[in-house]
Chains A and B, each alone.
Chain A
Amino acid sequence: MSVQSETPRRTASPASRARRGSFYVVTVPSIAVLLTLVVLAFGAGWINPYDPLKQDLIHAMQGPSAAHWLGTDDLGRDVLSRLIVGCRIAVIAAAEATSIAMILGVPLGLYIGYRGGWWDWVVMRIVEAIMSIPGIMVAIVIIAILGLGLHRAMIALGILFSTSFLRLARGVVLTEREEIYVRSARVIGASDSRILLRHIFPNIAPPLIVQTTLTVGAVLLAEAGLSFIGLGVQPPDASWGTMLNTAASYMELDWFLAIPPGIAIVLTVLSVNLLGDTLRDTIGRGITVGVNPAIPVARFDAAESNAEAGPRSAPRRDDVLCVESLQVVVSTAGGEVPVVTDLSFSVGRGETLGLVGESGSGKTITGLAILGLIGTAGRSTHGAITLNGRELRGVGQKQMEAIRGNEVAMVFQDPTTSLNPAFTVGDQIAEVLRTKKGMSRQEAWARTIELIDRVGIPRPAERAKAYPHELSGGMAQRIAIARALSCNPSLLIADEPTTALDVTVQQEILDLFRDLQEEFGMAILFVTHDLAVAADVCDRIAVMYAGEIIEVAPVGDLFARPLHPYTAGLLSASPHEAGRNPPLPTIRGSVPRPGSWPAGCRFSDRCAYTQAQCEMRIPLAETGQRMVRCTRAAELNLRADK
């Protein structure tokens, strides 16, 4: 399990490096654009080559030239100068509207969030009402009341955008209000305003910064839009929006007029938005870029580990599944790290093999490797997986899809997450029957109800129409089992199928597995960390440790006389074996993570019997029905400490 959960974290490393790379690629130009904008806005008076309002009708509508870099407009005014004045308008507009929005929204949001009750209800209904009117229409109404012009339009936009600041501030207060430090401040008698200012307000800063950048971008677009339709900046004053208004009238004569102001708007808004995205990502993720240390990578040579492979019996004739010297690697920042090595086992028809080990030993990824579902982060590099006499590694996607479900199926740990929440459970079983067995809708539905009945769910016809969230965990797992068995597979992989369930339900599910195996005759690969559970349902047990099998034995033999010190340790640590007193013995240390395995015996650093010979790689040695990976197996007389 932990291999699974670790995989994304470790593979995030190259991604986070890429993110850090794009961090600079994105933020540096964005900041450069915005700095240029501000410099032009403040320096417009000195920088401008011409008076932006000075008309020169003789030289109207001229394209770019040495005298007028961006040409002249319909009244012969210099486009570059007007564009630069437009920078000033943009900065004023953004600053005005955003501060009004913040000044109106934040205190009001803090107040109603903190007070709650009647005030909160009324203000929030008004906010909802405003938000159900298209923003531009709200602005238009407010402009109708206030009158035309840049500053009035910006007040209108400020009022409009204050709703998002209000909701943000209110949301933060609602979560912080019940935090313990705020309650204790209240208990010691701090005043409301002090609590709001000293304790709650600082928490708003990070989302507020993000919201501000988003608002600036939206204000710039809205200002340009309002000026474009003649309700913002009034002619002859220049803003990017009014310049585009002019350009629209002369589109057929000189389309170039539309280019400079448009690009100015796009560049500015793009820079602000990109900055906002970056801020949201960094603030949201707590700026964790590049913290993961590189994992030391144990180099593995395929040929070498082949040579280490121990003696192996020829596949038995009735083997459903036969895995031979399988190696699985996952890719990380430091290269590919093996998580499963030299793995060999087989499961016969009607047999249940338990694959037992602690978290991180590679059990789950083994199950997924058989199905060819490790995902993009990992792959099996060598070895053989033979199912019903057919080699599965290297089989094409279409063929593999045909094999899954029909020949091998899997039941997962948590039934509440392994069933799709958007479809009824009956649909999910019937879909498999229709697509894999070619049944008609009616046939599939009838068979679905039979299957649901078979896994011991009362009133199956009714339950088939339930959604997963309407069922208990135990019942959902029965559904998952029914779906897995729907196509009568010869191998069922059960990955910790009872771990997520209530203890009282566990036994029922285990009994169900036994009953179903008797009826359907499939082989079961039962993955679990719990030896007691394995003892209950399995015929044989394979113990995994750090990506390899260290012992295989029939259940009775394994419990009576473990050959590997790790197996003995596991048996001692199992609550079913030890009495209540003294406390359970534990194995010191923990399973080493993939990539940091000892070079020799992987258990050597936790083992009480380590000797010099344990520094060598140890092959899996076979004696009769048992296999063990320990050089001292014959001399140690191990048993579980009781």
Chain B
Amino acid sequence: MLRLVIQRLLALVPLLFIVSVLTFSFTSLLPADPADLIVGQQGTPEQYAAVRERLGLNDPIVTRYVHWVDRALHGDLGTSFFNSVKVTDAVMQRLPVTVSLTVVAALIAIIVGLAAGIAAALKPRSLVDRFATLGATFGQAVPNFWFGLLLAAIFAVGLHWFPATGFTPITQSPWGWLRSVTLPAFALGLASSAAIARQVRSSMVGVLQQDYIRAARAQGLSRRRVIFKHALKNALVPVAAVLSFQITVLLGGALIVEQVFAINGLGTLAITAVRRQDIPMIQGLVLVMVGLVVIVQLATDLIYGYLNPKARPS
């Protein structure tokens, strides 16, 4: 397992390098001149020149990139052009919000997806299977933000079971957190649970036809044990890859679903930054997102290695 972790970590180095170059050079393509934005209409040419010097805009692009990476490695992602807030602070303040929404949505997607996929696979072409397949097809066609609106209309505005807007940190009140995160997480998780259910169904149907399943049954192991131990572990191998991709999708979807429930997470930060062309903020957000995705990929790689002995380095 340790070898797998090291192998995976080494593979991340070129990825992170390319992402940082992409992020840096793309945001350097922004049409706005940062110094112009900061100084504003009333600024004098002297002030303008001073800001350019302070931001290092007169340096060659490679020097700027190296400085930016160096500071980023020390946890400093720069300062917003608009309100002199540290990017790192702004991002870190909202990160728990978006991450907790994504994690709960992922849990819902995994539980619902597994249950529906397995139930459908056990009786192919049965009523359960048709219902699950239909549900999965619908689930992938429903926009998460619209589903969120419907959930809010029914369970918050109509029934008052959950708050319609806002987010309570888990540190402040675990119960309040659960109430505030439930509706957005269901809205976000629907499409992913559909995708997972489809994958679970198809790989489970394939695995159940394998010789080793019949052999385990011939050995007198119970149906339940054969399905949930012998078949499931094999069926989850392709699901791990889908899961890794789906969590990335969930993280992106969270940015939009946050808007429905007026949750002040990374989504609002990103949208405001784009509207204001706030370069350091956009760069910082992208890097943090990639960092999260990389952690998820690392985790799913380890799960993959656990599920599939052939994938382990020997």
Q: Which residues of B contact A423 (CB under 8 A)?
A: 230, 233
Known: A133-B290, A248-B260, A266-B138. Contact between A225 and B221, CB under 8 A?
Answer: no
Bound complex: CA A143 to CA B277 (Å): 10
Across-interface contacts of A368 in B (CB, < 8 A)? 214
Contact A417 B211, CB 8 Å, known A18-B125, A258-B149, A405-B219: yes
Q: Is A409 positioned at the interface, with any CB of B under 8 Å from its CB?
A: yes
- Of B15, B29, B221, B294, chain A has the most CB atoms within 10 Å of the CB of B221
Asked if A137 and B270 make an inter-chain contact with CB atoms under 8 angstroms apart, the answer reads yes
Closest beta carbon of chain A to B266's beta carbon, Å: 9
Look across to chain A and name the residue whose beta carbon is closest to the beta carbon of B307: A422
Task: Please encode chain B, from 267 to 304, with 1 for each CB lying within 8 Å of some chain A CB and 0 for all others.
Answer: 10011011101000010011001100110010000000
Q: State how many angstroms separate the Cβ of B178 from the closest Cβ of chain A.
A: 22
**Is there an interface contact between A397 and B215, defined as CB atoms closer than 8 Å?**
no
- B137 touching A273 by the CB < 8 A rule? yes
The residues of A that contact B260 with a CB separation of less than 8 Å are 248
Q: Given A132-B294, A136-B252, A251-B157, verify A484-B27 contact (CB < 8 Å).
A: no
Question: CB-CB contacts of B213-252 with A at 8 A, as 1s and 0s?
Answer: 0111111111101000010011001000000000011011
Q: Say whether A617 faces chain B, with CB atoms less than 8 Å apart.
A: no
Chain B residues positioned under 8 Å from A251 (CB to CB): 149, 152-153, 157, 164
Q: Does B45 contact A (CB under 8 A)?
A: no
Establish whether residues A258 and B248, one from each chain, have CB atoms under 8 Å apart when the complex forms.
no
**Chain B's nearest CB lies how many Å from the CB of A9?**
13
B221, A405: Cβ atoms closer than 8 Å: yes
Q: Give Cα A143 to B271, complex, Å.
A: 10
Residues of B within 8 A of A137 (CB): 252, 255, 270, 285-286, 289
- A144 x B146 contact (CB < 8 A): no
Q: How far is the CA of A401 from the CA of B237 in the complex (A)?
A: 28
Bound-state CA distance A70–B282 (Å) is: 40
CB 8 Å contact bits of A481-507 with B (1 = contact, 0 = none): 001100100000000000000000000
The contact of B221 among A371, A432, A467, by CB within 8 Å, is A432
Chain A residues near B221: list those with CB within 8 A. 401, 405, 431-432, 435
Chain B residues with Cβ under 8 A from A266's Cβ? 138, 141-143, 146
Query: Nearest CB to that of B252 among chain A residues?
Result: A134
Contacts A141-B286, A229-B267 known; A397 to B218 CB distance under 8 Å?
no
Name A258's contact: one of B30, B150, B253, B307 (CB within 8 Å): B150
User: A270-303: contact bitstring with B at CB < 8 Å (1 yes, 0 no)?
Assistant: 1001100100000000000000000000000000
CB-based contact B146/A129 at 8 Å: no
Contact check, B223 vs A397: say whether CB atoms are below 8 A apart: yes
Known interface pairs A244-B146, A248-B260; A230-B18 also in contact (CB < 8 Å): no
Contact (A225, B153) CB under 8 Å given A266-B141, A417-B211: no
A419 CB within 8 Å of chain B: yes
- Do B145 and A228 have beta carbons less than 8 Å apart? yes
Residues of B within 8 A of A141 (CB): 23, 26-27, 274, 282, 286
Q: How far is the CA of A467 from the CA of B248 in the complex (A)?
A: 32
**A43 nearest CB across to chain B (Å):** 25
The docked-state distance in angstroms from the alpha carbon of A423 to that of B233 is 9
Instruction: Contact check, A136 vs B255: say whether CB atoms are below 8 A apart.
Output: yes
Q: Mark B14-42, 1 if CB is under 8 A from A, else 0.
A: 11001100110011011100000000000
- Residues 221-271 (chain A) with a chain B CB within 8 angstroms: 221, 224-225, 228-231, 244, 247-248, 251-252, 255, 258, 261-262, 265-266, 269-270
Name the residue on A nearest B220 (C-beta): A405
In the complex the two chains form, is A418's CB within 8 Å of B212's CB?
yes
Looking across the interface, which residue of chain A has its beta carbon closest to that of B19?
Answer: A129
Query: B84 at the A/B interface (Cβ < 8 Å)?
Result: no
Q: Is the pair B253, A417 in contact by a Cβ cutoff of 8 Å? A: no
Q: Within the complex, what minimum Cβ distance (angstroms) separates A174 from chain B?
A: 19
Q: How long is the Cα–Cα vector from A435 to B217 in the complex, in angstroms?
A: 13
**Taking each of A134, A136, A145, A431, which has the highest tally of chain B beta carbons within 10 Å of its own beta carbon?**
A134
Q: Given A230-B271, A483-B219, is A421 in contact with B153 using a C-beta cutoff of 8 Å?
A: no
A-B contact count (CB 8 A): 221
Closest residue on chain A to residue B154 by CB atoms: A255
- Who on chain B is nearest to A435 by CB? B221
- Given the interface pairs A251-B149, A373-B214, the reply to whether A133 lies near B219 with Cβ below 8 Å is no
Q: Is the CB of A422 within 8 A of B308?
A: yes
- Which residue of A18, A402, A405 has the most chain B CB atoms within 10 A of its CB atom? A405
Complex interface: chain A residues within 8 A of B218 (CB): 371, 373, 404-405, 409-410, 412
Best-surrounded residue of B145, B215, B260, B286 (most CB of chain A within 10 A): B215
B54 is an interface residue with CB less than 8 A from chain A? no
Q: Is A406's CB within 8 Å of the partner chain B?
A: yes
Q: Do residues B215 and A125 form an inter-chain contact, with CB atoms below 8 A?
A: no
A371: chain B residues within 8 A (beta carbon): 217-218
Distance, CA A414 to CA B282, complexed state (A): 57
Q: Which residue of B lies closest to A436 (CB)?
A: B220
Cβ-neighbour of B29 out of A140, A145, A414, A469 (below 8 A): A145
A422 pairs with B234, CB closer than 8 A: yes
Q: Give the residues in chain A near B15, CB-CB below 8 Å.
A: 125, 128-129, 132
A412 contacts B211, C-beta separation under 8 Å: yes
On chain B, the residues within 8 Å of A133 by CB distance are: 19, 286, 289-290, 293
Interface check A403, CB cutoff 8 A: yes
Q: Are A417 and B210 in contact (CB under 8 A)?
A: yes
Q: Are B215 and A262 in contact (CB under 8 A)?
A: no
User: How far apart sit A277 and B202, CA to CA, in the bound complex (Å)?
Assistant: 14
Shortest beta-carbon distance from A482 to chain B in Å: 11
Known A-B contacts A229-B271, A404-B218; the reply to A435 vs B223 at CB < 8 A is no
Asked whether A265 lies within 8 Å of B137 as measured between CB atoms, the reply is: no
| Most chain B Cβ neighbours within 10 Å, of A141, A225, A266, A422 | A422
Indicate if B93 sits at the interface (CB-CB under 8 A).
Answer: no
B145 contacts A244, C-beta separation under 8 Å: yes
List, in ascending order, chain B residues with CB within 8 A of A487's CB: 220
Given A134-B293, A141-B26, A431-B221, A273:B146 Cβ within 8 A = no
User: Is B256 in the interface zone, CB < 8 Å from A?
Assistant: yes
Min Cβ gap B32→A in Å is 9
Q: Beyond the given A125-B15, A251-B164, could you list 16 further A-B residue pairs with CB under 8 A, ordered by the A residue number?
A: A126-B22, A130-B22, A134-B251, A141-B27, A144-B30, A224-B143, A225-B256, A230-B275, A251-B153, A262-B149, A266-B142, A273-B137, A404-B217, A409-B219, A421-B310, A480-B215
Pairs A–B under 8 Å by Cβ, sample size 5: A128-B18, A401-B223, A410-B219, A418-B214, A423-B233
Q: Which residues of A contact B (CB under 8 A)?
A: 8, 15, 18, 125-126, 128-137, 140-145, 147-148, 217, 221, 224-225, 228-231, 244, 247-248, 251-252, 255, 258, 261-262, 265-266, 269-270, 273-274, 277, 368, 371, 373, 397, 401-406, 409-410, 412, 414, 417-423, 431-432, 435-436, 467, 469, 480, 483-484, 487
Binding site for A on B (CB under 8 A): 14-15, 18-19, 22-23, 26-27, 29-31, 125, 137-138, 140-146, 149-150, 152-153, 157, 164, 209-212, 214-223, 225, 230, 233-234, 237, 248-249, 251-253, 255-256, 259-260, 267, 270-271, 273-275, 277, 282, 285-286, 289-290, 293-294, 297, 307-310
Lowest 4 CB-CB distances: which A-B pairs, in order?
Answer: A405-B220, A134-B252, A404-B220, A136-B252
